[in-house]
Structure 1
Amino acid sequence: MTKFLISFPSGAMQVSADELPAVAEAAHAVVREAKDAGVWVFGGGIDERIAPVRVHGDGTVTDETYPETARIEGGYTVIEVPSRDEAVHWAARFAVACRCAQELRAFGEDAES
């Protein structure tokens, strides 16, 4: 089984305030289906009101990010499925619910786990 990240940036979901409750309900329905299917691992959105920080090995915290990750935002879901095809199926379900395309990435296996 492989874990996959399904995600989208905040700006990708272009829905009106009136549509937002229906989109939220549709997304929650897909989450419930993923849980019922036993593929759900984790999901949530980045709280964009809280600025990211960088934590160093000595415990020092600095108000910065890596330049490459300064724009991490939006919604994230982690699923665990036996194939990429099944991951594509779930990503498509979230794309319909959220009314925007989803990125799909596979996590590499950790030999120690």
Structure 2
Amino acid sequence: MDHIPDEDWPMVGEASHRVVREAEAAGVWIFGCGIQQQQSTIVATDGAVTVGPVHETKAVLGGFSIIEVPSRDDALIWAARIAAACQCAQEVREIMFDPES
């Protein structure tokens, strides 16, 4: 989100929070957060810990939102609202629900 001027951050933050409040009121909001650091840490199956891969791209994952909607089309509508609010394109993926998790 480095394309957003410092003076616009309060406006972007409020617009983003407004969409979250609307999603909560609509009953579709599950969870969302920002990613504090781009560097990942990898924990192997044997418990060994290493620094994660350094991605060679300008694209970054700044955060994510999890919503529960009846269709992909509904997800795209919410993604468009989030994109407009935070002034960043949104990647939409489906996740599998596991009732035991």
TM-score normalised per structure 2: 0.81
Cα separation, 2, equivalents of 1:64 and 1:46: 15
Match of 2:9 in 1: 20
Q: TM-score, normalised by structure 1?
A: 0.74
Q: Calculate percent identity across the aligned residue pairs.
A: 49
Q: Distance in 1 between matches of 2:30 and 2:44?
A: 28
RMSD of equivalent CA atoms: 2.5
Please give the residue correspondences for 1:1-113 in structure 2 after superposition, counting only pairs within 5 Å.
10=1, 14-48=3-37, 51-65=39-53, 73-110=61-98
Change in Cα spacing, 1:99 to 1:43, as seen in structure 2 (3 Å) is same
The list of structure 1 runs, each at least 4 consecutive aligned residues, that deviate by more than 2 angstroms after superposition, is: 64-68, 108-113
Q: Which has the higher strand share?
A: 1
1:43 Cα deviation from its structure 2 partner: 0.5
Change (3 A) 1:91 1:63: same
Higher mean C-alpha displacement, 58-67 vs 90-99: 58-67
The alignment partner of 1:81 has SS state of: coil
Unmatched segments (≥5 aa) in structure 2: none
Considering Cα pairs closer than 8 Å and 6+ residues apart, tell me whether 1 or 2 has the greater RCO: 1
Aligned-partner SS, 1:101: coil
